[in-house]
Amino acid sequence: MPESKKPKVAVWKFASCDGCQLSLLDCEDELLAIADAIEIAYFPEASSTVIKGPYDISLVEGSITTPHDAEHIHHVRRASKVLITIGACATAGGIQALRNFRDVRQMVAQVYASPAYIETLSKSTAIADHVFVDFELRGCPINKAQLVEIVSAYLHGRKPNIPRYSVCVECKRRGTPCVMVAEGALCLGPVTQAGCGALCPAYQRGCYGCFGPTETPNPRALSEHWKALGTSSDEIVRLYRTFNAFADAFRKESEAHEG
Amino acid sequence: MRAKNGKVSTRAVIDRQDFQQLFDHLSAQGYQLVGPRLRDNAIVYDELSAVTDLPIGYVDEQEKGSYRLTKTAQPTLFGYGLGPQSWKKYLFPPVVRLWQAQRHNGGFDVIPEDHEPRLLALIGVRPCELKAIAIQDRVFMGGAYADPIYQAQREQLFIVAVNCGKAGATCFCTSMDAGPRAASGYDLALTEILEANRHIFLVDAGSEKGEAVLRTIPQRPATDLDIAAGERIIAQTAEQMGRVLDTNRIKEMLYANYEHARWDQVAARCLMCGNCTQVCPTCFCTTVEDVTDLSAATAERRRVWDTCFSLDFSYIVGGSVRASPKARYRQWMMHKLATWIDQFGSSGCVGCGRCITWCPVGIDITEEARAIRSDSEDKRFTPATGGRKHEHA
């Protein structure tokens, strides 16, 4: 197959920790197959080579937090046939969206010696709030097997196997007893999308909600149950406000418990 | 040891100290023993090699949405009730590769999967679970098309049932005619009897295979006293049932209440997480996933446990048929208690109570059914007595 026939893939970064794009480099077993199947045309984290667009697939990491980024994402969209967002920052605003619940100007004034040099938006938002996104791959960080799955699916024009049901289904499949029922742990699993393989409950920790809300979550019912178990409103707010704090269902639920 | 007709007595007694020999004998016959083991604060099913692998002395406390284990000083081998897992994980594994395909000169070769069944001895199968296996037998092997993976494994089992010596607060097997005594479908059925001066197992052989095994291990014929002690335990357990489900014309009752307000109420409490379907010993729904590698040189098809609580489960052209949470909860409960009867000739529920205990927010199928019945618009289904034996907050 001639070099130019390989699908061109670009990896873009916005406000993020780089962990999700590193998942691509972390695909040790599949890395050669990836390099064989696609042409990495733009991936500053991995290579200084830049091949001009348009790109067949763009993987976009990070949230939009600055006026510059809000502009730049439109260029990325125009240069991409398929745009896939990867990770909680790109799909929900990330941990940095915690600032969305505060006055960002006040924080900038407190943190920086010369606040005037800081150009930032009042909110950290998901890529899909700015441009059309073909697929949102959840997770903080994303699961590398799901990354390979989504790229394979798009390359070969098939349906990706990325379930949108709860983490509980993964717990049960791997045989992990429910940490909420058996130990009274506060677990976001029942309202969180599968994808991590139910990692935390396998180590007897409640789910932190890294993969964001399920397709039709019911966090209200979960909070009611936690309250009945004696959980305070403050704690409920904290549970929903982590990596996917600004995902709609989690945001609304945390706001409902704010004093 | 031998009864007058020369056959081994089908009601025998094994002493606790000889119990390991049952394990040893089954192992020697090539069986992998699987049964209850303690893991992560719950009792799960896993491989066993010795009697001491069993959760000796453990008892459980179950309520809706809650499960707690306590270690007691009692030397009981089977003093606990059901854990979150059921035997379907062996007969109907969560993920199964069905076949692979390899690209080859412009076409592709299909590589069939070799599903080699294992000789499995299931230790400690409760009566309700025997009934659940019988129900899945009907689902997977009952019609014109048998599931070959299920069938092959099903034929390689040795089943050691254990009659229940204690009912949990979420148990209602008596309502479903599924316990607490093993009726059929076992090779050996045990009743554990622990008294001040003895620890024995009353054993019933339910098959020739079971009789043959019983013959090879130290045992004596059961006396009337032994049998009476076993009966007492089972009768006591039946008295302890924590829940009741009124099954009188339940199919008609539910069919008459498709639009009952209770469906909205339960949907408001339901997390849509699907736990009830995963812990249910009869739920059998799967999805099929096709996966390719990056180069599309190989592909494979997998069968994976699914849940009717997901949107994808009922997705057809135009969207999900059961888009609302209400429709999905109703589908699950209706199928389990009503449409299953039309489909397979029996209820899909065995009263094991797992869906009640392992629902993270404690939704109780017996409570939902009762609420619908007691407030049924169609007064033919209103219970005469309230239909509830024990009250639960």
* Integer Cα distance of A40 and B242 in angstroms: 62
Q: B33 and B170: one domain?
A: yes
Angle between helices A219-228 and A248-256 (to 10 degrees): 40
What pLDDT score does B390 carry? Answer: 46
Examine the pLDDT at A109 and tell me if it is beyond 70. Answer: yes
Scanning A79-134, the segments in alpha helix (DSSP H) are 88-92, 104-111
Residue A163 CA: distances (Å) to CA of A86, A127, A200, B258, B305:
15, 21, 18, 29, 12
Interface of A with B in 3-22 (CB under 8 A): none
User: Strand, helix or coil at A130?
Assistant: coil
Within chain B, which residues score under 50 in pLDDT?
1-9, 386-393
* Integer Cα distance of A65 and B87 in angstroms: 51
Asked whether residue B376 is assigned to any structural domain, the reply reads yes
Mean pLDDT, chain A, integer: 95
Q: Into how many domains does chain B fold?
A: 2
Q: B153 and B197: one domain?
A: yes
* Integer Cα distance of B265 and B329 in angstroms: 11
The interface predicted TM-score of the complex, written ipTM, equals: 0.94
The CATH code belonging to domain A3-155 is: 3.40.50.700
Examine the pLDDT at A127 and tell me if it is beyond 50. Answer: yes
User: Strand, helix or coil at B188?
Assistant: strand
**Nearest C-alpha in B relative to A35:** B294
Q: What range defines the domain where residue B213 resides? A: 11-92+115-239
Q: B155 and B194: one domain?
A: yes
Single-letter amino acid, residue A154: Y
Examine the pLDDT at A182 and tell me if it is beyond 60. Answer: yes
Interface of B with A in 3-62 (CB under 8 A): 39-42, 44
User: Strand, helix or coil at B268?
Assistant: helix
Asked whether residue B78 is assigned to any structural domain, the reply reads yes
* Integer Cα distance of A46 and A23 in angstroms: 12
Q: B322 and B281: one domain?
A: yes
Q: Is B256 exposed, middle or buried (0-12, 13-18, 19+ CB in 10 A)?
A: middle
How many CB pairs (< 8 A) connect A and B?
147
pLDDT, tens digit, 9 for 90 and up, residues A73-82: 999 999 999 9
B294 and chain A in contact, CB less than 8 A? yes
Q: B226 and B256: one domain?
A: no
Interface test with B, best of A168, A170, A220, A225 (most B CBs within 10 A): A168
User: Strand, helix or coil at B381?
Assistant: helix
Q: Are B103 and B298 in contact (CB under 8 A)?
A: yes
> Are B44 and A175 a contacting pair at CB < 8 A?
yes
Token reading at A193 = 């999308």
What pLDDT score does B383 carry? Answer: 73
Q: What is the CA radius of gyration of chain B?
A: 23
What pLDDT score does B6 carry? Answer: 40
Nearest CB among B273, B289, B311 relative to A164 is that of: B311
- Domain boundary assignment for chain A: 3-155, 167-256
Overall average pLDDT of the A2-16 stretch: 85
